[in-house]
Amino acid sequence: MEFRIKSCTEEQLPEIREIFNEAILHSTALYDYKLRTMEVMNSWYAEKQHGKYPIIGVFDRDNSLLGFGSYGSFRVRPAYKYTIEHSVYVRKDQRGKGIGRLLLKEIIRVAAEQDYHVLIGGIDASNLESIRLHEKEGFVFNGIIREAGFKFGRWLDLAFYQLILDTPLNPVEDY
């Protein structure tokens, strides 16, 4: 199958919402309970645009969204400005085809291009596929927050993985 990687626009919000909502209902990839409405998606999109955070999509030849990835601030304090937290979601029927890897590689590339230094992935500790994917791309395990979430009637452990980039070449402190 042929894949194309490109930026998502508002046009893809219904497809992104569908992928999010499937993950909310059936997985621990998102520690959310409520399905996302289009109003929530429009807010999410506006926040990404305002922060100049990409929404990267993998599309098939018919321009259907197969998966997407994005990132945002890790924490709001100024000294964290070179650190971002990313996420990758693949449509249920497209998992296991390398789409997650394409998205993660593109997130890394764009983050370096935007002069970020550290990528953080918060991954449910039982999500071994995501953990393996991150490790293959050079992410290292940094720790686990035990019982950080509660979903599907059980406590969930949140594992943190990070990748340090060579960027920026000239970091600065803004006061």
Q: Give the CATH number of the domain where residue 56 resides.
A: 3.40.630.30
| Residue 169 falls inside a structural domain | no
Other Cβ atoms closer than 10 A to 142: 11
Task: Render each residue's pLDDT in the chain as its tens digit; 175 residues.
Answer: 689 999 999 999 999 999 999 999 999 999 999 999 999 999 999 999 999 999 999 999 999 999 999 999 999 999 999 999 999 999 999 999 999 999 999 999 999 999 999 999 999 999 999 999 999 999 999 999 999 999 999 999 999 999 999 999 999 997 6
Query: In total, how many domains does the chain have?
Result: 1
* Euclidean distance between the first and the last CA atom of the chain, given in angstroms as a whole number: 49
The whole-angstrom separation of Cα 89 and Cα 16 is: 9
Q: Tokens in use for 112?
A: 């370096």
Are the CB atoms for 36 and 20 separated by under 8 Å?
yes
The pTM is what?
0.95
| Residue 174 falls inside a structural domain | no
